[in-house]
A = this chain, B = another copy of it.
């Protein structure tokens, strides 16, 4: 059965954050990202595929023509598969940040950076990622694509950081340019690692809650490191010194 005009309009509308929020749905497109998320058992609610899609069809996959795909696609070169999922924003349970490792992103607006940070949180098995509300939209395709499937595996919460971090009992490490040497970190079993935005660093309200600023030793002249690069180095050192 061909897609109705209303179905096509609905799928296309999910390009815009406003419509995603109104419908509570997001969309990803392409063999690679859909395959990665299916491999991670992500519970899509709808899947649309053309005959060209090589992936095994989960139950409920709807076959559509390439002409239909070109009408619903968000890309100028349409992919062979498009999948829809439900936007979900699990609340942060009280005291949750006191257990395990949390990566807190303070105003990271570049979607590629947010996706790369989800991916490294997955690599280092951090317990959760906490996004400030002004970070790039977690449900945008650029974030999800850059996460390389980690979007499906990492627990992500969105909350105003200063409120969420007030009263945490574990150390709050802040990536900074004038802190303690990251190579000298003590072994830790629980911690929050805060990464600030590229432009303005960690916001003042959050900075007050940081219990230890950590710095990656610099040998050359670059003024700073990319936010994801800095976070990755801190996580690698934290895991290295905390090995049991």
Contacts and interface: CB of A to CB of B under 8 A. Distances in A.
Interface in A99-144: 112, 116, 119-126
Interface stretch (A51-59, A82-90, A187-195, A224-232): A224-232
Interface string A200-244: 000000000000000011111111111011001100110110000
Contacts of A124: 218-220
A219 B112 contact: no
Most chain-B CB neighbours within 10 Å: which of A182, A218, A224, A226? A226
Nearest to A220: B125
Given A148-B222, A232-B232, 10 more contacts: A112-B112, A119-B225, A119-B226, A121-B220, A122-B221, A123-B219, A125-B220, A217-B236, A228-B229, A229-B232
Oligomer copy total: 2
A112 B116 CA distance: 12
Nearest to A240: B183
A155 to B, nearest CB: 12
Given A122-B220, A216-B236, A226 B228 contact: yes
